[in-house]
Amino acid sequence: MEYNKVCLMYRAKDSANDGIRSALGLAVENMYAYGVVLDDVTMDKIDENLTESIEMLRDMEGEIYSTNPANCELNGLEPITIEELGEKLRDMTHIIPYGIK
């Protein structure tokens, strides 16, 4: 059985938190789910509930990445470069731009 690999890409600050919870929902539905907070989005410090969501996602072999080092330092997200992201996207079955305005 082949599993879907989904990458949600967050370009808006107000949709990043919601998108992280959506990635967790996809992981619960037996999909490999990843999220990427892109360059121009600088997140505020995340709360305990969202931190737990990220930890659960990681337990299900998912991850939340950021191309912005400030997000990685403040919230413990996994750093990724644009080049590494390009390689990762080639492995995805679905790429979802989440919260694009």
Taking Cα atoms as reference points, which of 61, 86, 73 lies closest to residue 9?
Answer: 86
* Tens-digit pLDDT profile for residues 59-89: 999 999 999 999 999 999 999 999 999 999 9
Domain that holds residue 39: 5-98
- Amino acid letter, 57: L
CA 55 vs CA 50, 62, 82: distances in Å: 9, 9, 24
Looking at the chain, the whole-number percentage of residues with pLDDT higher than 90 is 85
Domain count, the chain: 1
Q: Is the pTM of this model over 0.85?
A: yes
CA distance 64 to 90: 17
**What tokens does 45 get?**
């410090």
- Looking at residue 1, its pLDDT comes to 65
CATH value at residue 33? 3.40.1260.10
Quote the Cα angle for 84-88-89, to 5°: 115
